[in-house]
């Protein structure tokens, strides 16, 4: 059996069997996403990553079912986990990629809501400031800085802190490559850690019940292409665990994953298959991993968060529920 075959079989095995051993009883349903999956007055948002390919490589197919699911679920906003534009980001706020990979792909009325992106490594190959500046030009692209935060309140008075961070400066190979990533060496990594700590402190003082952090690079990933980001083990991971963050959302690897190490309070959720996918695999932390074009739907109501991975045909390929 060759290496590629082992990877594919690993992905299938993960999607069919690993879910059975988890205390939260996640499921792979294969049913269409419908209104019955959304509780009345639930707070809903979508998560998609690694998508900007001029509508190609399944991007348009995923976008079509994002539209249909948005018409059903009425999300508050859409989170992008980075690598928003391939292969070299954007050159300016007038780059054709804005129309070809964003505006003309996610064009339906249901998707004319706020998009909150983070930067990926491919975005750093272009003009990252242009992605920030596009916030002033667009009615829905909301990215005020390389890292930023806001809080939302649900209809049942739950407070949710969303923290969007820039993981790129912490990956050594990018900082060393001035040819491909000239802006990364300029980033003040200590300043961002201080900012992250201050946001967590303020969130605790405000007694915010839910904390979600979004970055491009995974802490944990079973995908053989990139896998775990070891640089985040001693820096980001302890902050997530100590502050009892319920979920860390990321992309970078081109698949859908749910990782949760034994004893962890954090769900590590990877949504990086908004377009091109790569062969997936599983390892000891994997609750689900699938080489499937798609995106994530997340709902919060009361003390419960629900996650649905939806594929490019509108089918739920994985579902999960947890208490706060």
**Active-site residue 226, yes or no?**
yes
Q: Burial level of 2, CB count in 10 A (0-12/13-18/19+)?
A: exposed
Write down the catalytic residue from 24, 216, 226, 254: 226
- The backbone torsions φ and ψ at residue 81, rounded to the nearest 5 degrees and listed phi first, read -90, 20
Residues 209-244 as b or e (16 or more Cβ within 10 Å = b): bbbbbbbbbbbbbbbbebebbebbeeebbebbbebe
Asked if 72 contacts 33 with a C-beta cutoff of 8 angstroms, the reply is yes
The C-alpha atoms of residue 63 and residue 84 are separated, in whole angstroms, by: 14
Kindly report the number of other CB atoms within 10 A of residue 57's CB atom. Answer: 18
Question: What are the beta bridge partners of residue 286?
Answer: 259
Tell which residue, 267, 260, 265, has the closest CA to residue 283: 260
Cα distances (angstroms) measured from residue 23 to each of 26, 175, 193, 262, 285: 8, 40, 33, 11, 13
Tell which residue, 212, 223, 211, has the closest CA to residue 296: 212
- The backbone torsions φ and ψ at residue 186, rounded to the nearest 5 degrees and listed phi first, read -85, -15
Q: Would you please indicate which residues are annotated as catalytic (active-site) residues?
A: 226
């Amino acid at each position: 059996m060759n290496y590629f075959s082992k990877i594919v079989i690993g992905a299938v095995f993960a999607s069919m069997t690993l879910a059975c051993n988890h205390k939260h009883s996640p499921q792979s349903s294969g049913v269409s996403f419908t209104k019955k999956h959304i509780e009345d007055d639930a707070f809903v948002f979508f998560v998609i990553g690694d998508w900007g390919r001029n509508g190609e490589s399944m991007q348009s197919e995923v976008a079509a079912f994002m539209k249909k699911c948005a018409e059903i679920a009425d999300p508050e906003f859409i989170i992008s986990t980075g690598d928003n534009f391939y292969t070299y980001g954007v050159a300016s706020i007038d780059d054709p990629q804005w129309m070809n990979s964003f505006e003309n792909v996610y064009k339906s009325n249901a998707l004319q809501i706020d998009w909150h992106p983070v930067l990926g490594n491919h975005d750093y190959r272009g003009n990252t400031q242009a992605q920030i500046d596009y916030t002033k030009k667009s009615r829905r692209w909301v990215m005020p800085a390389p890292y930023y935060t806001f809080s939302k309140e649900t209809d049942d008075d739950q407070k949710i802190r969303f923290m969007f961070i820039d993981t790129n400066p912490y990956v050594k190979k990018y900082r060393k490559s001035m040819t491909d990533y000239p802006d990364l060496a300029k980033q003040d990594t200590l300043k961002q850690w201080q900012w992250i700590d201050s946001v967590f402190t303020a969130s605790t003082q405000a007694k915010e019940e839910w904390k979600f952090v979004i970055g491009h690079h995974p802490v944990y990933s079973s995908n053989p292409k990139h896998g775990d980001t070891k640089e985040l083990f001693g820096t980001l991971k302890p902050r997530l665990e100590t502050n009892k963050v319920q979920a860390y959302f990321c992309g970078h690897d081109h698949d859908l994953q749910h990782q949760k190490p034994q004893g962890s309070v954090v769900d590590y959720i990877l949504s990086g298959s908004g377009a091109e996918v790569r062969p997936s695999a599983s390892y000891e932390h994997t609750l689900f991993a699938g080489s499937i074009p798609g995106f994530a739907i997340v709902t919060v109501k009361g003390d419960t968060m629900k996650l649905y991975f939806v594929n490019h045909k509108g089918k739920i390929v994985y579902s999960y529920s947890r208490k706060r």
